[in-house]
Structure 1
Amino acid sequence: MINNDLAGISISRLHEMDDFLNKTYIESKKLAGLMTTVYRKGELVHYSPMGFKDRDHNTDLDKNTIFRIYSMTKPITSIALMMLYERGLFQLDDPVYKYIPEFKSLEVYVSGKDPDFITKPVDRPMNIHDLLTHQSGFTYDFMQTTEIDFAYEKRKIMRNKNKSLEHFVKELSDLPLQFSPGSRWNYSVSVDVCGYLIQVLSGYSLDDFFKKYIFDPLGMKDTDFYVPSEKIGRLASNYLYTGSDIPSLITSKEEGDITQKPKLLSGGGGLMSTTDDYLQFCKMILNNGNLEGHQFVSRKTIGLMTSNHLTGESDLSQMAFSRWSESKFDGTGFGLGFSVITDPVRARTLSSKGEIAWGGLASTAFWIDPLEDLIVIFMTQLIPSTTYDIRRQLRSFVYGAILD
């Protein structure tokens, strides 16, 4: 535990948070292990691993543990794309088909089942802004609500790691959109399309671009789309909630070989990382795109990305097509890669206006609060992320510990 009274945080309250997490989730075996990090005013205030990275082998979770961060990949991809925006390589209102010709003839679902869909033309072409804000009309197969969701599942959209991003884009172009671009918000594979755009615009593969322009300059030495065999012992086991308090282990056979780089580089959910690495990324965001003298994006770009971009400054409760997100809907808007708190009262949780956040499928989460000069990162490995209300519980403890 690292204590620093200058950061305006009650360390005893954070100890109470640890006691709560240990009793509620570790001793009950609801979670195998977890790590909580609190960073405020330039100080690492709290750094607390507990439990196991693998319960069956009793191997302790520690600062070197590697986690599947799933959708916490999305903010990294969004920053990478905006780095190219600053180089003048595209405009946010550019039609996506300008760079991905397969998207020239996209249509919107009206009725029918796959493959006999009845469709209509889009009201306007999809643009890059739609992708970054999840207003594209794309979806995810796990939504399990509409005929388009079921078609994604049937066709294994984003499920085959042996197919390239080029193949993914072609498969996507063969299916209708849920709605006309810009008219609704729906969590989706949009940021995977952003990952493909990075390759098209930069001439780099997605992993090479990340490494050269983000990971190496930030010192994120343990973040990648796979875990090399020499690091595999540091990888936390992944667990699935099945209705019992004690989750089931997801076996390596079920997951596939993650010691080899996949052909499909998912900018929407493919990265593995450590708490230390992801903290570096968050510090760069909090510091307006700069860290240790290296400018990744400008202060103005960070300001644009962390503003609410939903139509008419509405929130997710007004714009959402489906009811699934890594954030709450009321009082929450969406920027370019992050959820954005627009009204803490409507959000009904301790937070600040302008706070940005996101999470991952295996219950990982982070938030950045510029008003409080605060970063919080939570790491664990339990699918799905909606199993327990840990994120709001963390907010209660962390904001309740602020003294100044």
Structure 2
Amino acid sequence: MARVSLGLNQKLVICCVKERQSGVVSSSVQLSKTKKNQNVSSSRVLVLGGTGRVGGATAIALSKLSPDLQILVAGRNREKGARLVETLGENSEFVEVDIDDEKALEAALKDVDLVVHAAGPFQQTERCPVLEAAISTETAYLDVCDDTSYGFRAKSFHQKAVAANIPAITTAGIYPGVSNVMAAELVRAARSESIEPERLRFFYYTAGSGGAGPTILATSFLLLGEEVVAYNRGEVVKLKPYTGMLNIDFGKGIGKRNVYLLNLPEVRSTHENLGVPSVSARFGTAPFFWNWGMEAMTNLIPGEILRDREKVQQMVQLFDPLVRAVDGIAGQRVSMRVDLECKDGRTMVGIFSHKRLSQSVGMSTAAFALAILEGSTMPGVCRSRFPLVLKRKLSCFISVSPQY
């Protein structure tokens, strides 16, 4: 099996490598600056969770990719919002918004062209208030959801979004998001040669919290309370979270890392939409003792506590100072590896690496957002065509250059 790893700074690259008997064929996918578009430059984008790491990184990336874009940074921390607005410049402003306040949320959405929902965590929520408000105000919608239940609950609003004539893309960050694009490209490449995919495996690595702080920490704890859903030869398999450890090579700059099973939405979406019989997802972090801690939490803390958002937030407050201290040593590197095994015995691999998680998430989310603003998406919530749509709708930012 051939493997390629790319360390990145200002650019995002997906590298898909395919092993052949006669040699290796590779293709790189590069995210570049969008061409100036009058409609895009006059658009107004509201970034919910804009004072957080992911939302702030998205706002910065949007500003860099489309400098004339009007960006509204929304959150509950006015001081953080003011600092970000100062960084973004005159085409931005801060808006104080509580997503749990329905009237305030709808009021904030009335004068914008797109709302980017980055106010996680998304786990253990019963509603999709931002999507509902977007439909009510006929505002295009995008979120960075990384929860299976939330993602598929969002898709249940498809007909309402169609009726409102708005596009809505869910789970559109880095993983899931770019990882779905990687998987779709691998499957497309295999089937273009009449090779049928058999097993798809997602492997993720983030150093520490990736610099994302409390939100990703809360997400990780909440995921430990969810039973893992995977697929084996078309059958649903339910497994204990943070088990099934594998040592995976993420290539240069990252190396070999231990990864563990987690319940992630791309498993179900790629199984259903790409038609791959066996699918699973694993995640790992560093330093190694964080993985030990995650295993211990799964074994020692009752699942009902790990599924309780309030109790998890209390644990996050307890661990956050230590996590931030370790982040200063561990760094913020992130890597994704997608393996596609085919029925003829061949394996195709896609690897993505970046030195900063927040920056790569911001650039990824911004690409999806600009695709919506440029009119590359259809009304409705992405459902059955979801993973394939991601690649096609990002075509205005992505160029593919095969190298032989």
TM-score, scaled to structure 2: 0.26
Structure with more contact order per residue of length (Cα contacts < 8 Å, sep ≥ 6): 2
Give the TM-score normalised by the residue count of structure 1. Answer: 0.26
